[in-house]
A = this chain, B = another copy of it.
Amino acid sequence: MSVLPSWRSGPTRAALLGFLEAAEDVPVAERVAYFDNDGTLWCERPTYVQYDFFVDELHRRVADDRTVAERPEFAAVLAGDPARIAEVGLPRIAVALADLFAGLTPEEFTERVRDFAGRTRHPVLGHDLRRMRYLPMLELIDELRRREFTVGIVTGGGADFLRAISTDLYGVPPELVVGTLIEHELGRTDAGAPELRRTARLVGGANEGPAKVTNIQTQLGRRPLLAAGNSAGDADMLDWALAGPGPGLALLVDHDDAVRELAYASESATLADTESITAVAARRGWTVASMATDWEMVFPAGQRS
């Protein structure tokens, strides 16, 4: 089985192969696929990798200056106490953490991301970043590219964070990464050269839900045939891919494998509190990829998966 070798036979694999075949009739310029990142292309639990990056930076800052730890948002994070974090509120914490990087040039920020990416390990699995990626999804991306698809990533996380590593991890260049955007200011150095610096302000809001669709339109300009995600924040993008005029596929990664990864119900709060996201998927015609059932391997070789 040379195509999608880590996908087990069954209705999900059949749906993927059927979609790939149908897409052969679509003009190359319209062969577009977008993937959510956290929980879709790589492991998002117990914490988002970008959150770990922020916390790592916070520890560096506190080592330099103990008083940094006194800021209530940072105190909650450093305590690692979900109740305190919930009390302060994640949005407020996110803004405070983004503030740590305000004033950096894009090059300095990229350098910090890459430094972190090279040394971080999953706290439970022990995997490095490359082995936190899902092998079946990497195979799907490769197969799409063989069929002349343009492959992009549409993440709820920071665009700049992912762009620093997307080429290396996924072969996706920065311009094909859409995410939550940080505003930059253009100033001039003493010598008169233009210089960009990060602020702590967002351009627009978080790249979640309907914003994923409108940001694809404004930043990428092409509608996907295939969209893949794993949570309520991806629902509009998945529906949009399915509703196009040509062949479409909406792929939902279901985290139901407590042995090889984790078993958890992706939050579906913005959809319907009483309905699981897999029930939503069935109702809306999304294709569900069960990690437990559909994936022969979860992570790339080199680690037990």
Using a CB–CB cutoff of 8 Å, the interface residues on chain A facing chain B are 29, 106-107, 150, 152, 159-160, 163, 167, 173-177, 181-186, 193-196, 203-204, 210, 213-214, 217-223, 236, 239-240, 243, 245
Contacts A29-B167, A175-B220 given; 5 further ones with Cβ under 8 A?
A152-B175, A159-B218, A181-B218, A186-B214, A196-B217
Q: Quick one: copies of this chain in the complex?
A: 2
CB nearest to A219 among chain B residues? B219
3 closest Cβ pairs, A-B complex: A174-B221, A193-B243, A163-B221
Interface pair B106/A223, CB less than 8 Å apart = yes
Residues of B within 8 A of A194 (CB): 210, 213, 236, 239-240, 243
Residues of B within 8 A of A213 (CB): 186, 194, 196
CB nearest to A223 among chain B residues? B106
Residues of B within 8 A of A183 (CB): 214, 218
Residues of B within 8 A of A29 (CB): 167, 173
Residues of B within 8 A of A210 (CB): 186, 194
CB nearest to A174 among chain B residues? B221
